[in-house]
Amino acid sequence: MHRRDIWDDDPEQREAEAFVEELGDEGVEPTRRWHHHPAFVPFKVVIAFIGRNAKRVAVTVIGLVVVLAGVLMLILPGPGILAIIAGLAILATEYVWAERLLHAAKTRAGQAKDAAVKRVRGRPDR
């Protein structure tokens, strides 16, 4: 039994010449529009690249801004470590290296929490 017999989703095959004859306008050259000019090709390539990668570009920019703000907050007042972790979480949605750094940061934060809890529980009450 053939796949087409079961699903019936294969497109109907047609002769290319018959299809072109249906379209008509044989021998008529298409007019060149301004955006088909060869000078615009590099711009069209860049726009197509940005269109395909818009999400990745946006995530990268936003994540880097948050990480840099976190680094600045290490010097200035603010929750610097939390901002850096938040920036890495944003970047981890697109990049494996950021996911690894985020995992390492979570591990070290857990170790620091455990050390702080151990230190507090080890103190005698005053």
Q: Give the tens place of pLDDT for each residue, 34-71.
A: 666 677 777 878 888 888 788 888 999 999 999 999 99
pTM for this model (two decimals): 0.54
Q: Quote the pLDDT of residue 55.
A: 85
Within 8 A by CB and 6+ apart from 89, the residues are: 102
Q: Whole-angstrom Cα distance, residue 69 to residue 61?
A: 12
Distance of CA 84 to the CA centre of its chain: 19
Q: Quote the pLDDT of residue 122.
A: 74
How much is the average pLDDT of 66-92? Answer: 91
Q: Give the tens place of pLDDT for each residue, 12-33.
A: 666 766 666 666 655 555 666 6
Q: Quote the pLDDT of residue 57.
A: 86
Domain boundaries, the chain: 56-122
Burial zone of 94 (CB within 10 Å; 0-12 exposed, 13-18 middle, 19+ buried): middle
